[in-house]
Chain A
Amino acid sequence: MSIKPELDFEMDNGNFSFPENYAFDAGYGLNEGVVNYICDVKGDPDWVREFRLKALEIFRKKPNPTHWASKDLENIHFDKIRYYLAKGQQAKRNWEDVPDDVKRTFERLGIPEKERKFLAGVEAQFDSEAAYSNMKDALSDQGVIFVGSKEGLDKYPEIFRPWFGKVIPTADNKYSALNSAVFSGGSFIYVPKGVKVKHPLQAYFRINAENFGQFERTLIIADEGAELTYMEGCTAPKFETATLHSAVVELVALKGAKLQYITVQNWSANVFNLVTKRALAMEEAEVKWIDCNIGSRLTMKYPGVILKGRKARGEVISIALANNGQHQDTGAKMIHAADETTSNIVSKSISIGKGRSSYRGLVHIPRHLKGCKNNTECDALLINSDSRTDTYPAITVRGESNSVQHEASVSKVSAEQIFYMQQRGLSEGQAMSLSVNGFVNDLVNQFPMEYSVELKRLIDLEMEGSVG
């Protein structure tokens, strides 16, 4: 058995901010003027301006999904949010050149240290724009592209444009439309044919300003036989008022490619986190989403894979932890669109205090397909007697040669188990933490080591104060 070295992160953690100092501020509220302002500041080409304005129209027309979603969505005041805040500087390739307050922010979050230790490249976004972006030379020599979305659409339109907005159409939902209208930041990655990127690339998304909406847009393309692991982390300080994070992430895995996308988010408790993530997996490609949702006021996120090519494989591993006043509405979508495609969904949620976690899953296998398989497991752990969990699986599997397996369980941390651990000398809080870490352990073991350490710490922090 190996012993995991502890990294010296300061995890408690994201709750600090520096005074605002922005050269560009689109002001409060959303209209054509704001969208045009963003286009002007960013110097968008005409097709992007048209794309944004059309998206704004769709956003206005589309209602919130109130028939099934949390009513809390109605408490988002779109006119009280700032949609673009930037210092007007290019992303730096060297931490020395990053403005001091921004650099200190990321240093406190341990990003430069992680970059030195185990990452092949980092992009660090501060509010609307990336402050730092760098990748190891060896990768660029192999033709790997890792830049911000803006640089992607400017410099590599021949790769960017054919896929942009194709996996997730603007009109997919109200928040994908919102993102399409005001998107800024996020990553663009292209891994050429056959290139296997050994070490992960990482993006870190940081909200620093109050009443701000972060709308990053990420597009990752793994060409035939390419392999990549991408990780994202997110934090924001604890503001008085609600903050909105609404990203769109599109992944494309061409024939035989392998893509792994890992998220560890630790939003403060007033962030609305409404993110659309979807992948397209072509023949024999594999896409795996690993999604850890800690914090936020309301998270709605259902990473999906469209299994478009024969023998494509999709996987979603998700961990959600809902503390008092939080609702984690998470799950997965698997759309089988070719023969012999397989998908696997494993979801574990923990509800603490009055926290609520919901699993919402969609698995679709049409009648004409052959040899498709889905496995879905969702397990919920309740810590307190007023904690809540719900499961909403929607599985349509037609056709005789297709199979689906669904298992769900709800368990409660038992008083006997806590007593047993206390009898060994662990405090009630330590016992709870250990129990929760044990519950998610089989999933955490699939993470890169550094992230499993970080996740364990985040869980320990969340469990503090959950007893008594």
Chain B
Amino acid sequence: MNSLEIKNLHANIEGREILKGLNLSLKKGQVHAIMGPNGSGKSTLAKVMAGHPSYEVTAGEVLLDGQNIMELEPDVRARLGLFLAFQYPSEIPGVTIANFIRAALQARLPEGEEIDAVDYYQKLYAKMDLLDMNRAFTARSVNDGFSGGEKKRCEILQMSMLEPSYAVLDETDSGLDIDALRIVSEGVNRMRGPGIGMLVITHYQRLLDHIVPDVVHVMADGQIIRSGGKELALELEERGYDWLLKQESVPAVS
């Protein structure tokens, strides 16, 4: 309980195996980083956990506070407290950010209960201020015509409004300039606390300068090949992924 357990997870896309028996345990209150070269299956892991329909889970389970969520619809997993900050968030033309987040919060309420609009907007504006987002943003369509940085900020805004118990951040640093990286990282750091476990997926060490992880996992060829403290990330930065891949005799992926 009070943890997200990934056990022996295997998953295919179009018959090709991407995840090959992955194990990971994330406790609430902790931040874990997953690093790895391109093609190691990091983003697949994020999508499989969230229930993306293109992937087939062939073995293993993901236990959210003890409950296996692998058979559940994506929205049920989300309402149980799993959040995925997407690497490439979808555009939803004509649906404003304010209405979208409100609908998502409404979906978590029992039938017949309505969100209090005044409270909602107060909270939304406060969170937007923290993320340095202009309030005019609420009236813009979700991700429609957003820059890379705006999209990532919008993901963190949603995360802070939905208050998940486990959050997976998939390459949240990609496409961010240094200022945006700082703002997004601060947003994530503010959310850290005993009520949430975070899994931060990244290709580069630089994000981990801002969001300092408790544990670093290195992923290659669909498995976690090494876990360690935050110094593991620094070592990787210095010596490159090949150093580890050779040690673990994992076939190099381009």
CB interface residues, A 397-418, toward B, < 8 Å: 414-417
A419 contacts the other chain (Cβ, under 8 Å)?
yes
- CB nearest to B81 among chain A residues: A425
Contact in complex: B92, A419 (CB < 8 Å): no
| Distance A414 CA – B92 CA, assembled complex (angstroms) | 10
A3 contacts the other chain (Cβ, under 8 Å)?
yes
A64 contacts the other chain (Cβ, under 8 Å)?
no
Known: A414-B90, A422-B75, A423-B78. A434 touches B103 (CB 8 A): yes
CB interface residues, A 424-453, toward B, < 8 Å: 424-428, 430-431, 434-435, 437-442
| Distance A415 CA – B55 CA, assembled complex (angstroms) | 13
A153 contacts the other chain (Cβ, under 8 Å)?
no
Q: Residues of A contacting B226 with CB < 8 Å?
A: none
Known: A419-B52, A422-B78. A1 touches B107 (CB 8 A): no
Contact in complex: A438, B94 (CB < 8 Å): yes
B138 contacts the other chain (Cβ, under 8 Å)?
yes
| Distance A440 CA – B52 CA, assembled complex (angstroms) | 27
A86 contacts the other chain (Cβ, under 8 Å)?
no
Known: A438-B141, A439-B94. A425 touches B108 (CB 8 A): yes
Return the CB mask of B113-147 against A: 1 if under 8 Å, else 0.
00001000000000000000000001101000000
| Distance A172 CA – B138 CA, assembled complex (angstroms) | 49
Known: A419-B53, A426-B103. A1 touches B139 (CB 8 A): yes
| Distance A416 CA – B158 CA, assembled complex (angstroms) | 18
Contact in complex: B73, A437 (CB < 8 Å): no
Choose from B74, B95, B101 the contact partner of A423 (Cβ within 8 Å).
Answer: B74
Per DSSP, chain A at the interface is helix
- CB nearest to A438 among chain B residues: B94
B240 contacts the other chain (Cβ, under 8 Å)?
no
A362 contacts the other chain (Cβ, under 8 Å)?
no
B98 contacts the other chain (Cβ, under 8 Å)?
yes
In the complex, what's the smallest C-beta–C-beta distance from B86 to chain A, in angstroms?
7
Q: Residues of A contacting B101 with CB < 8 Å?
A: 424
| Distance A430 CA – B99 CA, assembled complex (angstroms) | 13
| Distance A442 CA – B93 CA, assembled complex (angstroms) | 10
Known: A422-B78, A424-B100. A430 touches B107 (CB 8 A): yes
Q: Residues of B contacting A415 with CB < 8 Å?
A: 53-54
In the complex, what's the smallest C-beta–C-beta distance from A190 to chain B, in angstroms?
38
A421 contacts the other chain (Cβ, under 8 Å)?
yes
Q: Residues of B contacting A422 with CB < 8 Å?
A: 51, 73-75, 78
Return the CB mask of B66-105 against A: 1 if under 8 Å, else 0.
0000000111011100011010011111111011110110
Q: Residues of B contacting A414 with CB < 8 Å?
A: 90
Contact in complex: A424, B90 (CB < 8 Å): no
A420 contacts the other chain (Cβ, under 8 Å)?
yes
- CB nearest to B136 among chain A residues: A1
Known: A424-B100, A426-B103. A417 touches B90 (CB 8 A): yes
Contact in complex: A441, B94 (CB < 8 Å): yes
- CB nearest to B139 among chain A residues: A1
Contact in complex: A424, B52 (CB < 8 Å): no
Contact in complex: A423, B50 (CB < 8 Å): yes
Contact in complex: B138, A1 (CB < 8 Å): yes
| Distance A417 CA – B91 CA, assembled complex (angstroms) | 7
Q: Residues of A contacting B100 with CB < 8 Å?
A: 421, 424, 434
CB interface residues, B 179-230, toward A, < 8 Å: none
Contact in complex: A419, B74 (CB < 8 Å): yes
We find that the number of chain A residues with CB closer than 8 angstroms to chain B is: 26
Contact in complex: B95, A428 (CB < 8 Å): no
Contact in complex: A434, B138 (CB < 8 Å): no
| Distance A414 CA – B53 CA, assembled complex (angstroms) | 12
| Distance A420 CA – B79 CA, assembled complex (angstroms) | 13
In the complex, what's the smallest C-beta–C-beta distance from A319 to chain B, in angstroms?
12
Contact in complex: A420, B86 (CB < 8 Å): yes
Choose from B90, B96, B158 the contact partner of A1 (Cβ within 8 Å).
Answer: B96
Q: Residues of B contacting A420 with CB < 8 Å?
A: 86, 89-90, 92
Q: Residues of A contacting B51 with CB < 8 Å?
A: 419, 422-423
| Distance A426 CA – B106 CA, assembled complex (angstroms) | 9
Known: A425-B79, A430-B107. A435 touches B92 (CB 8 A): yes
Known: A3-B117, A419-B53, A430-B103. A424 touches B78 (CB 8 A): yes
B162 contacts the other chain (Cβ, under 8 Å)?
yes
Known: A1-B138, A3-B117, A434-B100. A423 touches B84 (CB 8 A): yes
Q: Residues of A contacting B74 with CB < 8 Å?
A: 419, 422-423
Q: Residues of A contacting B93 with CB < 8 Å?
A: 438-439
In the complex, what's the smallest C-beta–C-beta distance from A7 to chain B, in angstroms?
15
Q: Residues of B contacting A424 with CB < 8 Å?
A: 75, 78, 100-101, 104, 107, 158, 162
- CB nearest to A426 among chain B residues: B107
| Distance A419 CA – B89 CA, assembled complex (angstroms) | 10
Q: Residues of A contacting B162 with CB < 8 Å?
A: 424-425
Q: Residues of B contacting A1 with CB < 8 Å?
A: 96, 98, 138-139
Contact in complex: A438, B75 (CB < 8 Å): no
| Distance A46 CA – B93 CA, assembled complex (angstroms) | 57
Interface centre among B84, B98, B101, B104 (most CB of A within 10 A): B104
Beyond A414-B90, A424-B101, A437-B95: 4 further Cβ-contacts under 8 Å? A3-B117, A426-B104, A430-B103, A438-B95
Q: Which 8 A-B pairs have the closest CB atoms?
A: A438-B94, A441-B94, A438-B95, A420-B90, A422-B74, A424-B104, A425-B78, A422-B75
- 14 CB < 8 A contacts A-B: A417-B90, A417-B92, A420-B89, A422-B75, A423-B50, A423-B75, A424-B75, A425-B108, A425-B162, A430-B107, A434-B95, A435-B92, A437-B94, A442-B94
Q: A-contacting residues of B (Cβ < 8 Å)?
A: 50-54, 73-75, 77-79, 83-84, 86, 89-96, 98-101, 103-104, 107-108, 117, 138-139, 141, 158, 162
Q: B-contacting residues of A (Cβ < 8 Å)?
A: 1, 3, 414-417, 419-428, 430-431, 434-435, 437-442
